[in-house]
Amino acid sequence: MRWTRLVALSLSIVLVALLVACGGDSDDPTPTATSAPATATSPPPPAFSPTVPAAATATEDSQAGAGGGAGSGGPGSGGAEATATVASAGPTPTRRPATVVATPRPIATRPPQPTTPAQQATATPAPQPPTPTLEEGQLLIVMEEDFESGSSDWFDVGTTQYGTTLEIVAGAYVITPQPESWQTITVSPDDSWSFADGLITADFSMEGNGEFGLVSRQMQDDSGAFYFYLCWLTPSGAAGCSVYADGNFTLLFRVDAPNLYKEINTVVMQVIGTEIIYEVNGQQVGAIDDTTVDSGYWGFYVWGDENTATVRVDYTAIAVP
């Protein structure tokens, strides 16, 4: 199980926090609230769209979805026409994500359901180990996927309404957006995957230029407008978090650290209550409190420049309180 890397990641953050407390040096980038160019016209109707009331709270009738749009840049790298609003924020002290605890029950594959009354009568559910008791500050893994089987119960494949192709190739989820277009892709087995608090992590790599990252609390109101939190990374080492609302990206925080980007990038986004924490390759990018969006779906984000960009996800997991 690759969830052990989440525990190691949290332990590394504890070590960095102790070194800082003792006056030691830290290589963690310090987030600054500088504005970043962003694209964002209101997106057209989504290919796989959640439906929620205008009050911006997800309902059981929602369906997991994908949002997208076209423009000259995402929140981390934009063109001349892109604009961004910067949220006001005070100091952002180092905050530690919760400890992730592996669940003993199988969660990556759901058993086939009986299709006839006879099958229903004779079907015997497999015994399940008890769910562990969580202590304060712990999260339980509820979804874990490495795409090694060549299929996924959690993520769609095909082509979205925005022209983004979604494939599983050689043990990876491969996302190819249209040039100068962005796309979100969320976990979509059923309606229960809209929730408020949790942690999502993924291993990303990229061919071409653009940006990628994680999405949390994605929802759509009755007018078709999307709302979500987004934490992103670019090959230049720019990284940060934004909120998408009313057809615009608002920058919450950003750092520019060329050494932050690696060939394979492990990114972690935790949103619990009003607190958002973002880490890239073991370094905390920033932490902030925001109340714009309170619940929704969780998944990935990609944006490509004017040339073809391809993003690979080799592993992902979601944990909840």
* Token reading at 142: 């509820």
Q: What does the pLDDT read at residue 291?
A: 97
Residues 21-43 have a mean pLDDT of 37
The torsion angles phi and psi of 53, rounded to 5 degrees, stand at: -70, 165
Residue 132 lies in a domain: no
State the chain's mean pLDDT as an integer: 72
Q: Of 41-50, 141-150, 152-161, 212-221, which gets the smallest average pLDDT?
A: 41-50
Residue 115 lies in a domain: no
* Structural domain count of the chain: 1
Q: What does the pLDDT read at residue 110?
A: 33
Residue 72 lies in a domain: yes
Q: What does the pLDDT read at residue 125?
A: 52
Residues 242-255 have a mean pLDDT of 95
Q: Is the pLDDT of residue 157 over 70?
A: yes
The torsion angles phi and psi of 113, rounded to 5 degrees, stand at: -95, 140
Q: Is the pLDDT of residue 7 over 60?
A: no
Q: What does the pLDDT read at residue 191?
A: 72
Amino acid at 70: A
Q: How far apart are CA 36 and CA 143, in angstroms?
A: 32
Q: What does the pLDDT read at residue 313?
A: 98
Residues 41-60 have a mean pLDDT of 30
Q: How far apart are CA 288 and CA 276, in angstroms?
A: 5
- Which positions ≥6 away from 70 have C-beta within 8 Å? 39, 41, 162, 178, 180, 181, 182
Amino acid at 109: T
pLDDT digits (tens, 9 = 90+) for 263-308: 999 999 999 999 999 999 999 999 999 999 999 999 999 999 988 8
Confidence grade of residue 115 (pLDDT, cut at 50, 70, 90): very low
Q: Is the pLDDT of residue 141 over 90?
A: yes
Residue 13: give its domain's CATH number. 2.60.120.560
Confidence grade of residue 138 (pLDDT, cut at 50, 70, 90): confident
Residue 36 lies in a domain: yes
Confidence grade of residue 159 (pLDDT, cut at 50, 70, 90): very high
Q: How far apart are CA 145 and CA 314, in angstroms?
A: 8
Residue 264 lies in a domain: yes
* Radius of gyration for the chain, computed over Cα atoms and rounded to the nearest angstrom: 19
Q: What DSSP character marks residue 195? A: B
Domain, as residue range, for 182: 4-22+29-105+137-320
- Which positions ≥6 away from 157 have C-beta within 8 Å? 166, 167, 168
Residues 217-236 have a mean pLDDT of 94
Residue 125 lies in a domain: no
Residue 179 lies in a domain: yes
Length of the chain: 321
* Token reading at 9: 């990641």
Q: Is the pLDDT of residue 87 over 60?
A: no
* Token reading at 172: 């990876």
Q: What does the pLDDT read at residue 219?
A: 93
Q: Of 43-57, 103-117, 272-286, which gets the smallest average pLDDT?
A: 43-57
Three-class SS state of 18: helix
Residues 19-45 have a mean pLDDT of 37
The better pLDDT of the pair 110, 303 is held by 303
Q: Is the pLDDT of residue 261 over 90?
A: yes
C-alpha distances in angstroms, 230 versus 21, 253, 300? 29, 11, 9
Q: Is the pLDDT of residue 217 over 50?
A: yes
Residue 17 lies in a domain: yes
Q: What does the pLDDT read at residue 192?
A: 80
* Dihedral sign (CA 1, 282, 278, 49): negative
Q: What does the pLDDT read at residue 149?
A: 94
What percentage of the chain reaches a pLDDT higher than 90? 51
